Amino acid sequence: MSDTHTGQDVVDVLSSDHRDMTALIAEIWTVRDPMIRRDLTDTMISELVRHAVAEEMYVYPAMEKHLPDGKEAVEHDVEEHKELEEAAKKLEDLDVSGAEFDEALRRLETVLADHIQDEESEQFPELRRRIPAEELVELAGKVETAKKLAPTRPHPGAPNSELFHKLVGPGVGLVDRLRDKLTGRATR
């Protein structure tokens, strides 16, 4: 499933992540069964963390380099990633049936929607305008690899790039566990 073959560029990959995360959140709202809610929430969190790590490693540096005001945009985006991970950390710890959980989910949903809007309406079109198509396809491959190796748990206190390097060994185990979990869910 190499992106050089599918021709997907990095904007396609990231936008599809955005749709997946948004759909998962919508599903969490509709589900009341605590075990399924927990499962969907953990899946959404790991998607979110891996997406944020991959963006920070490969996409935000490209934004800084190629976009006018890229540096400011990246600072703002990284701050929002931190907010998202803080909300995710709460969701990880809270009882899925409590009011506080709903509050944290609402918060995450709101910040995420805003963040997606910024990226998809402003920054991603700029990337496509300013970076050659081949490079954007190459970036898609890097993002996919980073997502496979990235940590799957939120760490709002630490820079994602550092964490990635620290966790890249154990991260593989986490991803394997996640895969088992997803497979289990698919067959239930």
By the criterion CB under 5 A, which residues form the site for Fe ion?
55, 119
Using CA atoms, how far apart are residues 16 and 124, in angstroms rounded to an integer? 13
Nearer to Fe ion by Cβ, of 102 and 120: the residue is 120
Nearer to Fe ion, 55 or 85 (CB): 55
| Chain residue whose CB lies nearest Fe ion | 55
Q: Closest distance between Fe ion and the C-beta of residue 51, in Å? A: 6
Instruction: Tell me how far, at minimum, the Cβ of 122 lies from Fe ion, in Å.
Output: 12
The rounded distance, in Å, linking the Cα atoms of 171 and 184 is 20
Instruction: Give the residue with the Cβ less far from Fe ion, 54 or 137.
Output: 54
Question: What is the identity of the amino acid at 163?
Answer: L
The minimum distance between CB 80 and Fe ion, in angstroms, equals: 7
